[in-house]
Every structure is written in C-alpha cells, then in structure tokens.
Amino acid sequence: MAGETVARATIVLYDGAEQPIADEMDVLLEIRNTQGINQTNWVKGPVIPLTLQFYNGPGDDYVVTVWVKGHRTTGDFIKANPKVHLVRKFMLISVPTRLIFRPWLDLKAKYPKITEFIGLGSADDGAAEQRYLDLQKTSPAPLACFMNLITAMGGIGIGGGKTPLDYLKEIKWDSSFAQDRFFGYVDPALIPLVVATAKDGGFAEEKDPGTFHPGATLSYKQIDYDYSNVQLTFHENPPDRKDIGGLSCVLFEPDMDLYKSLLDHGALEVLPNLLTHGKTDPVDILSLRWLDTNDSGEDPFDPGYTLA
C-alpha cells in the first residue's frame, strides 16, 4: 500500500431510533483538515462515500460535518488511512426533537436496571411506574439524562464484577434532579475502587473539583471515549453525608461531559452554559455516546428511550 495518496471512508446516516435511514436525502457535506482543505458540497445520502487525501502526517486528521434540512448538524473526526476503510455512523436528530419513552412494562422487561433505579425509594412497583409517568410529563429532559447515566454507569467495571450502580443507595428526587446530572448517596466503599480504577487507566482525576462542582471533594472522569464520558463526583464533608441503614453515605453527583479534555469541557460546554444559563442537553449526550460506542466496535449506546 506504500505510495498511496488517498484513503476511503463511508458515512452511514441513522435516525433517532438508531435505525439506518432508507430514504434518499440531500446532505450538505463539509470536509476540513489542517492542510488547507475546506470543502463544502451537496451530496446524496444516507450512504456517503468519502475520498480523502492521504499525507502520512498531521493532514490526515479530518473533521467531517453533515447537515440535513430539519435536523441537527452532526459530524466526527476521521483519520485518513489507505489501509483501513472506515465506516462512520452518524445519528440524524430531528428539529424539534421529541423524546420517546417506552411503556413501563416494556422498559422493565428490556432495561431492568433503569426501572430498578427509577423505583429506588418507591413503596412498590406501582409507585415506581407512577414516578416514571410523572417524570415524562414534568421533567422529560432530566429523565433522559438519568437514563443516560444509569445505562453508562452500568457499563463501568470497577473490579470484582461490580459497577458504580452497586454502591448507589438513594437518589434525591427533588429540584437537584436535572437534565445534566442527578444527586444521590453512595456507599463510601465506592471511592477507593474508583481511585484504583484510575491508577489502572480507567479514569482521570479532576483537580480542584469544587471549581465546576461546588462543595465537591473528589471527582474522577472516565476517559474511554472521545465524547460523553461519565464523571463521578463525591461530596465527602459531613454536611453532605447521610446515614442510610447505619452506613454513613456520601453525596454522589454523576454527570456526563460532551468533551473529553478539561479545556474543551470548560471552554465549549461549561462557559457557554454559564453565559446562556443553559445545561448540557441529554440528546447531545445520547447522540455522541452512540457515535463513540459505534466507533469503538461496541454495542451501540441504548439508554431505553429514542428520539423523533
């Protein structure tokens, strides 16, 4: 393959239900790199073949962006390699976006961990189902965020076949239940396990966690993906502790950041949210985590709700 000057890749467009799009559509395609390539052309989708100039150097890192009328802009980084025909799956999200939540019995059968934690603190299954229905009406975005986080944390191994969910004892079903995070209480035994996982390369510590998480004493961020990594933040000081069944639990604040690097997270996510008084959109988290899991060859991220 020596001497080749082009690399080939393919983009395949999916809908908000994570299904391949069958209908032909007009797509505005933008391709950029650091060597001066900046091309914008109308092409036909949903399957889009790419031919990328190969430099065998920094110019091989491309940013590919697609836009379809009536949908959010999406895209990804693609590295040109003549030896590898990359296939990138992009999720097209309609504007405006509707969150589609499954019926309780369907969710319970297919996503038992989600229903287990929606029901945490409920008197019985009926009360858990009512909470689920109420949240769909009053707090759909926070509910979607919660389902994102429960699904993502359920895939984080911290040793001994355990995940952070095994240490989650209580959830605060109050005004802190938001579209970008939730708060609850965990067994403090989770903390040394997260620290040990960080030493093995599974997490990175966020220094001075109180900067972005007021009152926090410790925070670790997953580093497995380019986007939408889970961050586990702990508030260990006595005002934030609670006795649950004789165990002194610590306040726990999980969230998911759109960007992997702390600099990008601060400049591109936190600062704009501060200026606009907005919060990270769980729809963006879903689409980027879905993109990342597909790129990694894993089962696509599926938090139990879809988009339309």
**Which has more pLDDT, 250 or 258?**
250
Q: Does residue 304 lie in a domain region?
A: no
Asked whether residue 110 falls in the same domain as residue 70, the answer is no
Are both 199 and 270 inside the same structural domain? yes
User: Does residue 181 lie in a domain region?
Assistant: yes
Per-residue confidence (pLDDT) for residue 276, from 0 to 100: 38
**pLDDT for 163-220, tens place per residue?**
999 999 999 999 999 999 999 999 999 999 999 999 999 899 999 999 989 999 999 9
- What gap in Å lies between CA 167 and CA 173, rounded to an integer? 18
Distances (CA, A) of 12 to 16, 166, 214, 258, 307: 13, 37, 41, 22, 18
pLDDT tens-place string over residues 53-111: 999 999 999 999 999 999 999 999 999 999 999 999 999 999 999 999 999 999 999 99
Show which of 67, 91, 115 is a domain's final residue.
Answer: 91
63 and 125 together in one domain: no
Kindly tell me if the per-residue pLDDT of 277 is higher than 80: no
My answer on whether 54 and 151 are in the same domain is no
Residue 274 has pLDDT above 50, yes or no: no
Tell whether 142 is covered by a domain.
yes
Alpha carbon separation from 7 to 41, 111, 172, 225, 275 (Å, rounded)? 19, 40, 51, 24, 41
Question: Which stretches within the chain are classed as H helix?
Answer: 104-110, 112-118, 125-138, 140-153, 190-199, 262-264, 271-276, 282-295
CATH number, position 38 = 2.60.40.1120
| Residue at a domain's end among 57, 91, 125 | 91
**Is there a single domain that holds both residue 119 and residue 59?**
no
- Tell me which of 60, 91, 122 is where a domain ends: 91
Classify residue 303: in a domain, yes or no: no
Domain identity same for 125 and 81: no
Instruction: Provide the number of structural domains found in the chain.
Output: 2
Q: How confident is the model at residue 271 (pLDDT cuts 50, 70, 90)?
A: very low
Query: Do 86 and 138 belong together in one domain?
Result: no
Domain span holding position 34: 6-91
In this structure, is residue 148 part of a structural domain? Answer: yes
Query: Is there a single domain that holds both residue 168 and residue 199?
Result: yes
Domain-located, residue 306: no
Question: Does 50 lie in the same domain as 82?
Answer: yes
